[in-house]
Amino acid sequence: MASEREPLDRLIVERQILRAVRWLMSTFECGLQEAAQVLYARYDDLRRSRPDDFTTSHEECWEGVYT
């Protein structure tokens, strides 16, 4: 399961939020709202479990992202 999430995790850590949303929508054939919910949940999980992977603050990570 972890390897299935690796592309998403990489995109989140690299702050490629739009690409992460697109990846979720195409991989899981879901809409924008569902993709955003999954993205936010995974982001929170990564922030807790891998804090050293993030080089920016929470605010900087989501800067310019509007859903």
Q: How far apart are CA 42 and CA 9, in angstroms?
A: 8
Q: What is the pTM of this model?
A: 0.86
Mean pLDDT for the chain overall? 91
The pLDDT, as a whole number, for residue 37 is 96
- Domains in the chain, number: 1
d(CA 48, CA 35): 20
pLDDT tens per residue, range 13-35: 999 999 999 999 999 999 999 99
Q: Which whole number is the average pLDDT over 33-59?
A: 95
Where do we find the tokens 């999430």? 5
Range of the domain at 43: 2-61
Confidence of residue 67 (pLDDT cuts 50, 70, 90): low
- Contact (CB, 8 A) for 53 and 45: no
Q: Which of 66, 56, 50, 67 is closest to 15 using CA atoms?
A: 56
56: nearest Cα among 20, 17, 23: 17
Is 48 a member of any domain?
yes
66 domain residue, yes or no: no
